[in-house]
Amino acid sequence: MLLAVDAGNSETVVGLFELGDERRLLDTWRLSTQADRTSDEVALLVQEFLAFHGFSFDTDIAGVVVASNVPKITAAFREMTERYFGFPAVVLEAGVKTGMPILYDNPREVGADRIANAVGALELAAPPLVVVDFSGTATILDAISPKGEYLGGVIVPGIEVGLDALVGKAALLRDVELVEPRSVIGRSSVESIQSGVVHGTGSMVDGVVERIRGEIGPAAVVATGRLAELMAPFTTSIQHVEPWLTLQGLRTIFEKNQT
């Protein structure tokens, strides 16, 4: 089986895939990102995750692939893989085969998760494409050209970051659960904030997608991220929702680097 790791600034998502013809995502695991975890601590967490699902840490893992925006987490998973599994991890970095030309001015600046998302999106729909990643930290819209090239994108402060800032700066506002509002017009401060966050973000995404389409053509839109299923119904542009798109892209990248 394949262990796919997507380590972001706030959360780390681990996915377990079957290898071979099936290529199914068997399960996922989400934990907070803590950069000070050692490789041994990471190994213990992975061992517990696998054991909870009835798999063996010692015999069932045949590959590890990592996308990480946190250098210390990258190092911990790299060291864990070498020490406990006896083979190198495929780390999404310069020199790794992705099958996708990167047309960013400096390709090294592109987050590994953004590349994995783009690779995964090409398995769902034909280009041109826009990939919308709804994480709590940032909402990112990435563009893929009609030729399947990664062009770049738009980074907006994330839904939860904006919500935390609003509540933190306004003395009379209290913490708000991020859920679907009853209507656009809120009948209380809480509902008004919920409506502003959800409808405001949805409208922003639709507006930016239209501007990207003006540059690359009539692109299909794929959404991913922890908040994608909440947000997709409040947009008119999103056509595909794949919460585990990053992991799917990592699986594809792992396969491209086995030959």
What are the structural domain ranges in the chain? 2-95, 125-241
Backbone angle region of 99, left / alpha / beta, with phi > 0 → left and psi within -120 to 50 → alpha: left
Across the strands, what pairs with 66? 5, 91
Q: 2-95 maps to which CATH number?
A: 3.30.420.40
Tell me, what's the pLDDT at 170? 58
208-259 tens-digit pLDDT: 999 999 999 999 999 999 999 999 999 999 999 999 999 999 999 999 998 6
- State the catalytic residues: 113
Angstrom distance (rounded) from CA 126 to CA 12: 29
Q: For residue 231, what are the CA distances in angstroms to 45, 115, 182, 206, 224?
A: 31, 22, 14, 11, 10
pLDDT at 53 (0 to 100):
81
Residue 174 pLDDT:
58
2-95 and 125-241: identical CATH topology: yes
* Tokens describing residue 235: 């947009």
Q: pLDDT below 70 — which residues of the chain?
A: 167-175, 259
- Beta strand extents in 149-239 (DSSP E only): 150-157, 220-224
List the Cα angle 181/184/185 in 5-degree steps.
105
The per-residue pLDDT for 47 is 92
Name the one residue in this structure whose structure tokens are 């895939």: 17
Instruction: Provide the pLDDT for residue 175.
Output: 67
Helix, coil or strand: residue 82: helix
pTM for this predicted structure? 0.90
Per-residue pLDDT tens for 40-56? 999 999 999 888 888 88
Are 178 and 164 in contact by the 8 Å Cβ rule? The answer is: no
Looking at the domain 125-241, which fold is it? Nucleotidyltransferase; domain 5 (3.30.420)
